[in-house]
Structure 1
């Protein structure tokens, strides 16, 4: 596993859309500290210095500074790594997603059941 991976994803701002790449979740699950652009979706996942570092997407020097900061500060690197794996295990696990989906499906089922009983 590489100590880092550089990826660039241009947001589809003209359509009001931005995605959180699945590989971001894989990086976090692997404990890799991440440097990501300041977009709402990514900010919610990474947090402010919790699981990675957020930078201005239009300022390449901020990316370089963030990478150097992670490289040169082993305690920061360890904190980001620990927080990242814990976040995935506690908040983004398949079990958590299954629970959320089960709630949605149960609500849909109960709604339709009530609608049928009104007839």
Structure 2
């Protein structure tokens, strides 16, 4: 009987028993990172776009406040769930890419 290498063990379904715990921990860490990043982006988008039709009486300011709070909550929830499903590697890739776009002046969060 052939001894399997580590790489072959990872390819077998259920072959690496310790990998499951590390994967879940990585997914929870990804969820925290994704929720934080998406909450910030949600606040930015909701706060700047929701009160675009403000009018004279200040209702746009109220719309901006509601949009910022809603963007924070919805962005955090959606970002956390998506990051948990995507895993650590993909989440880190998306977050680093978006932060590089901020640094380079090409920040468009809805295009990520």
TM-score > 0.5, shorter chain as reference: no
Identify the structure with bigger relative contact order (alpha carbons < 8 Å, sequence gap 6+): 2
Provide the TM-score with structure 1 as the length reference: 0.29
Structure 1 or 2: larger strand share?
Answer: 1
Provide the TM-score with structure 2 as the length reference: 0.30
Structure 1 or 2: larger helix share?
Answer: 2
